[in-house]
Amino acid sequence: MTRLTDTQLVVLSAACQRDGFRVLPLPETLKGGAARKVADALIAKGLIAEVPVGAGDPVWRQGDDGGSTTLVATDAALTVLGIEPDSGADTAVRAEVGKTGVKGRKTKAATSGPRAGTKQAQLIAMLEKPEGATVSEIAETLGWQAHTVRGAISGGVKKRLGLDVASQQVEGRGRVYRIGASN
């Protein structure tokens, strides 16, 4: 079973929601050596790979040959997150990357389903659902107090992880929070 840290889960989850499954930009709080450590661990697990930079792609590093690379999530990352890969160009790119990596080195494939989530991962999963979640729904599911839920959303998810959380008043439910949804 592939074990991931909360930070690794957040990085992969965000990448799988972006066009081209680009890993960059990383959360603002993940810089320098910590960013390199997270990326190296995900590369070693075959969940992300370095690929040549395309037009408009953010640069991860400059290669020895002068070419720039960026990072993309592989199909193994989708599998670990429990996401069914779609057919199309992005899947073809990820599949090819998953087979050989950038420098011809083999990458490991995920061998099992998603890891039983931490509370933060469960919170993010609830917020990523199209219907979102209310503070009371999250508190009941996670066994937290309402103030802890609000603090985790504003401090942990929005500020520390840099995810876009929107809220909207929904009749019959109250205030509903979602990641990546507009008001």
For residues 58 and 2, which has the higher predicted lDDT (pLDDT)? 58
State how far the Cα of 163 lies from the Cα of 172, in Å rounded to an integer.
Answer: 26
Which domains are delineated in the chain?
A: 6-100 (1.10.10), 119-179 (1.10.10.10)
For residue 149, is pLDDT > 50? yes
For residue 14, is pLDDT > 90? no
Q: What is the mean pLDDT of residues 169-179?
A: 93
For residue 1, is pLDDT > 70? no
Q: Across the strands, what pairs with 165?
A: 179
Report pLDDT for 122: 86
Q: pLDDT tens digits for 23-35?
A: 999 988 888 899 9
For residue 99, is pLDDT > 50? no
Q: pLDDT tens digits for 41-94?
A: 999 989 999 888 877 888 888 877 778 888 999 888 888 887 766 544 444 444
Count other Cβ atoms within 10 Å, centred on residue 167.
16
**Helix residue spans in the chain (DSSP H):** 6-15, 32-44, 75-81, 89-100, 119-128, 135-142, 146-151
Is pTM beyond 0.85? Reply is: no
